[in-house]
């Protein structure tokens, strides 16, 4: 049975530790002028948690632009100083949550099991998780790309085996060696990794695998966004530094895909 491509492109901006509430309001005042609403794509911003409510207020008239949080705890509430629970994030206006971003994995020591717990916590809160996977430069040089991706994605899929909410999960392939370095994977590099991830999804989920978008993240800029987006099996872009510029990200989010439906 062949798959039919139903995935609309996704453009996500991760602000990391940038832009407080006032900055977020100013950003969206400009972005909403520069970017015209479109029904053929999804646009998501991940501001810092302290800016979520300000961003939500600034976007009241723009239901085409969605918000997410950069991190949630695996418990909904509790004595976890400095953490944000999924229900709290949802209440503040978040509909998406990053899980397993490389800066959390390698900077905060989060392992695959923790990422799986956070993925489930997001689903429990009514939030769609964006599960990030990717290899380090040493792992890539050692030829371990497929082994690393299999472990990272497999842990999440195994933890949610049989859960129909898997249909709400998004994936993001972010080679660690290309994040914040200015070094970007070529379209062929991205297509190869995304194709492997798509094959893993088919193995675990069957024909339902065709509905889960896989984003590419890693030094995406306005001048390389189109080539990356149009690589085979790349369904969207997770943008870091370039998402801090409202005009630049408006250009990225306006990129069109030239791939035909069914191009999987």
In order of their start, the domains of the chain are 10-83+92-253 (3.20.20.70)
Measured CA to CA, the distance from residue 185 to residue 93 in angstroms comes to: 33
Q: What percent of the chain has pLDDT over 90?
A: 86
Measured CA to CA, the distance from residue 192 to residue 233 in angstroms comes to: 9
The answer to whether the CB of 62 falls within 8 A of the CB of 25 is: no
Residue 3 pLDDT exceeds 50 = no
Catalytic residue (choose from 103, 110, 135, 174): 174
Measured CA to CA, the distance from residue 170 to residue 143 in angstroms comes to: 25
pLDDT tens, 51-97?
A: 999 999 999 999 999 999 999 999 999 999 999 999 999 999 999 99
Q: pTM of the full predicted structure?
A: 0.94
pLDDT category at 1 given cuts 50, 70, 90 is very low
Helix (H, G, I), strand (E, B) or coil at 97: strand
Q: Where are the beta strands (DSSP E) in 70-169?
A: 96-99, 128-133
pLDDT tens, 166-191?
A: 999 999 999 998 887 777 789 999 99
Measured CA to CA, the distance from residue 169 to residue 130 in angstroms comes to: 6
Structure tokens at 110: 């989060």
pLDDT category at 45 given cuts 50, 70, 90 is very high
Burial 234-259 (b: 16+ CB within 10 A, else e): bbbbbbbbbbbbbebbbbbbbbebeb
pLDDT tens, 145-168?
A: 999 999 999 999 999 999 999 999
Helix (H, G, I), strand (E, B) or coil at 242: helix
Residue 259 pLDDT exceeds 60 = no
Question: Which pLDDT does position 207 carry in this prediction?
Answer: 65
Question: Which pLDDT does position 185 carry in this prediction?
Answer: 85
| Residue 234 φ/ψ region, left for φ over 0, alpha for ψ in the -120 to 50 degree band, beta for the rest | beta
Q: What percent of the chain has pLDDT over 70?
A: 95
* 101 belongs to the catalytic site: yes
Structure tokens at 116: 């799986």
Find, among 144, 209, 136, the residue nearest to 170 by Cα.
Answer: 209
């Amino acid at each position: 049975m062949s798959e039919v491509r139903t995935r609309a492109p996704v453009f996500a901006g991760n602000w990391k530790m940038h832009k407080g509430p006032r900055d977020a309001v100013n950003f969206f005042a400009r972005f909403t002028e520069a970017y015209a609403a479109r029904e053929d794509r999804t646009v998501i911003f991940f501001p810092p948690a302290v800016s979520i409510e300000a961003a939500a207020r600034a976007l009241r008239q723009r239901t085409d632009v969605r918000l997410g949080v950069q991190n949630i705890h695996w418990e909904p509430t509790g004595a976890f100083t400095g953490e944000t629970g999924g229900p709290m994030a949802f209440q503040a206006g978040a509909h998406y949550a990053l899980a397993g971003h490389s800066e959390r994995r390698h900077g905060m020591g989060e392992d695959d099991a923790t990422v799986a717990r956070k993925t489930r916590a997001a689903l429990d809160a009514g939030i769609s998780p964006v599960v990030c996977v990717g290899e380090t430069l040493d792992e890539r040089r050692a030829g371990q790309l497929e082994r690393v991706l299999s472990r990272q994605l497999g842990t999440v899929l195994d933890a949610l085996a049989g859960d129909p909410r898997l249909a709400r999960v998004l994936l993001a392939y972010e080679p660690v060696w290309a994040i914040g370095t200015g070094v970007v994977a070529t379209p062929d590099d991205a297509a190869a990794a995304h194709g492997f991830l798509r094959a893993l999804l088919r193995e675990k989920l069957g024909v339902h695998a065709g509905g889960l978008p896989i984003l590419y993240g890693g030094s995406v800029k306005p001048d390389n966004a189109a080539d990356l987006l149009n690589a085979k099996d790349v369904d969207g872009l997770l943008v870091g530094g370039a998402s801090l510029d409202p005009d630049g990200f408006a250009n990225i989010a306006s990129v069109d895909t030239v791939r035909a439906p069914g191009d999987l």
